[in-house]
Chain A
């Protein structure tokens, strides 16, 4: 099904997010404010969530248990999968990798091998795209934070996560929020600062105050944040769609012009024509680079003094 930008809807858009911060700061409760969540309780942390804010959870002994539950028809009722915590998930994956292929993934002393770490990393990526793309759910990874010192002795907060997964987890995620106390208020920040890394997009940036939840309050902070992101995407698409259309039209014309460039004369005709197109976004720079490349392949170079392409030998002379 081909859908043009002006007809696209982002109502069903799903997001992935990292939430990290100190233990006990309320990350799990915050994650449960996402739309229709189910929590995979790797960390056995649901008991710490106030009873009125608890949601459905998957309790498991092995990674295979989780995969079985995710494949069940009961999953249809949930829009969001919360992995709590990402660090414990890695531990479950290590156990799975060593059981699945002990010869390759296990060292003699029982620790995971380098190849085992590779298998964990691959499965972590596969799991992330399975939840996002195949199940089409929002995905929230909750991580504890790890405070370390940078080389100047300044505190630096990072994800508590073993191995290379801590790098690959950032790439597919739309948002990465660091949860912290600022004075007496809880805050989640989606813009990186010297002390911590964070990630925002679709207009979700900077510091957001997390409201205190009373017994009768609805826990819907992340739901509202996702709604805001969807509204921003729609607004952005409305603004961007005409530019993108114009860009596509111009680039199509540029390709047609470049197809006619066969010699010095036609290259110089293109040099006159391309800047006069109704350019959009970066089409002018891209087309200029394409023309230079085409001219170069014909042995031509741009001469500033002549304001035209000339044979390379002529310019050098």
Chain B
């Protein structure tokens, strides 16, 4: 039986259509369509650098948490060490998947946990912009990540977003009862695709390998 992949980044791309700033809905929709059709996104240098910074930050955190020998980072050492302290003893980049049936379709929910230890899932986020006067509280309230990951790891007791700009660390955490279920989210996603004649595009491009 065919199964179709659901990832947090696919759902995030869809939800961004609702979450983006006024006037950016068209570009958010374009970006979502690229993701839906699995077309490589064209990135400018700044976007590439931002992604690269995030990868570099995470790698430094994992390396520090694992107790590997490393040179202090010239810009982000304080954020790296503070997050690494929270992740000591964790397993990193743990791949998880689980089937779910919604609206008569069998989906394969797939995710990679940044860190897992003692029933706590942690996700490391790097902000390219200094926290400064940003107001981060509630930034992840509507994220599909923790609902999907609680479905993927039903024995998890807590999901923590560990956010850093390299200097400071902001933590936002959720418990399993704090969010909509994965099934609800996926149902809304299917309804959106159906209403916009995009369900076929999804089914063509997101079939899971058996």
Contacts and interface: CB of A to CB of B under 8 A. Distances in A.
A151 B25 CA distance: 12
A86 to B, nearest CB: 13
Contact size class for A?
A: 20 to 34
Interface in B145-178: 153, 155-157, 168-172, 175, 177-178
Given A247-B118, A285-B96, A166 B137 contact: yes
Contacts, number: 76
Given A282-B155, A289-B116, A170 B91 contact: no
Contacts of A196: 138
A152 B22 CA distance: 7
A133 B175 CA distance: 25
A118 to B, nearest CB: 8
A159 B131 contact: no
Interface in B82-126: 91, 94, 96, 116-119
B133 interface: yes
B118 A281 contact: yes
A67 interface: no
A163 B153 contact: no
Contact of B153 (A162, A197, A282): A282
A316 to B, nearest CB: 17
Contact of B116 (A166, A192, A286): A286
A144 interface: no
B141 A286 contact: no
Contact of B91 (A121, A197, A289): A289
Contacts of B155: 281-282
A57 interface: no
A166 B136 CA distance: 8
A305 interface: no
A197 B138 contact: yes
Nearest to A196: B138
B137 A286 contact: no
Interface in A189-211: 191-192, 194, 196-197, 201, 205
Nearest to B169: A171
B135 interface: yes
A244 B94 contact: no
Nearest to B92: A289
**7 A-B pairs with the lowest CB-CB distances in the bound complex, closest first:** A197-B138, A197-B137, A289-B91, A281-B119, A289-B94, A164-B131, A167-B170
Interface of A: 121, 151-152, 158-159, 162-164, 166-168, 170-171, 191-192, 194, 196-197, 201, 205, 244, 247, 281-282, 285-286, 289-290, 293
Given A162-B133, A163-B132, A171-B170, 5 more contacts: A151-B22, A159-B135, A247-B118, A285-B94, A285-B96
Interface of B: 20-22, 91, 94, 96, 116-119, 131-138, 141, 153, 155-157, 168-172, 175, 177-178
